[in-house]
Amino acid sequence: MKLKYFSHSAFQLTTSFGKKILIDPFLSGNPTSPVKANEVETDYIILTHAHGDHIGDSFDIAKRCNSTFICVNELANYCISKGFKAHNMHIGGGHNFEFGKVKFTIAHHGSSTPDNQYAGEPAGVLISADDKTIYHTGDTGLFYDMKLIGELNSIDYMLLPIGDNFTMGIVDAVKAVEFVSPKIAIPMHYNTFPVIEADPNKFKTLVDKKGFKARVLNFGEEIEL
């Protein structure tokens, strides 16, 4: 399986048998993204919440690619109301798809659509495919139940925000890594806008000092998991 980081909180997973899953594809309006929305292909789009910098280019991509949305119930219904396919889920629930299993977790944040409609609870997401488990925390502050998520799941890659202001900053993100104990921690949600400027290498250094491993991905970089 491959993991590609577009910047902000946008990632793409490509499974060993070719299925593509986009997470929070904020691309065309994202000043740090190396690609535009019309340059990506996907079978599924997972949304952690409905803020504009996460729902992003989802509708344009889904229309072109005939993609299926996977998100919490209220946000899924919003996507359906716009004419798209969606699989409704909710926090704590899991479902097996053709590419693997998806389970949503809590996240401490908010969620409303760009046109100010209520979109349910914000979420993190666990994706298990090709014998790997990825935990995309979504936009969240630090919470102690992350420790429980780490105890119940063997997390290979944890994708977590470090930009502060709207989410965890570096110090809290390092504590989140301690709670979850992933094999690799990857920082996200930083340097897109001035208010969330952060140094990912500082995060990596602090994580390393705690005895864990972190990897900073360049915007547009793809790695083999």
pLDDT digits (tens, 9 = 90+) for 114-141: 999 999 999 999 999 999 999 999 999 9
Domain assignment present for residue 223? The answer is no
- Where are the alpha helices (H) located in 117-169, listed in sequence order? 146-152
Is 134 part of any domain?
A: yes
Question: pLDDT band at 201, cuts 50/70/90?
Answer: very high
For residue 177, what pLDDT is reported?
Answer: 98
- Position 121 in a domain: yes
pLDDT given at position 21? 98
For residue 55, what are its two tokens?
């729902």
Confirm whether 100 is domain-assigned: yes
Q: How confident is the model at residue 150 (pLDDT cuts 50, 70, 90)?
A: very high
Is 205 part of any domain? yes
Please state, rounded to an integer, the average pLDDT across all residues of the chain.
Answer: 97
Q: What percentage of the chain has pLDDT greater than the value 90? A: 100
| CA triple 146-57-173, angle to 5 deg | 20
Complete edge-to-edge strand list for the sheet that includes strand 68-72 = 85-89, 68-72, 44-46, 20-23, 10-14, 2-7, 222-224
Number of domains in the chain: 1
Note whether residue 46 is domain-resident: yes
Q: What is the pLDDT of residue 77?
A: 98
Confidence (pLDDT) at 6:
98
Q: Mean pLDDT across the stretch 178-182?
A: 98
Average pLDDT of span 164-181: 98
Range of the domain at 48: 2-218
pLDDT digits (tens, 9 = 90+) for 47-78: 999 999 999 999 999 999 999 999 999 999 99
Instruction: Check which CATH number belongs to the domain holding 45 and give it.
Output: 3.60.15.10
Q: Flag whether 224 is in a domain.
A: no
- Binning the chain into helix, strand and coil, the percentages to the nearest 5 are 25, 30, 45
8 Å CB contact between 18 and 43 = no
> What predicted TM-score, i.e. pTM, was given to this entire model?
0.97
Beta partners for residue 103, in sequence order: 94, 126
- Would residue 225 count as lying in a domain? no
| pLDDT at residue 222, as a whole number | 98
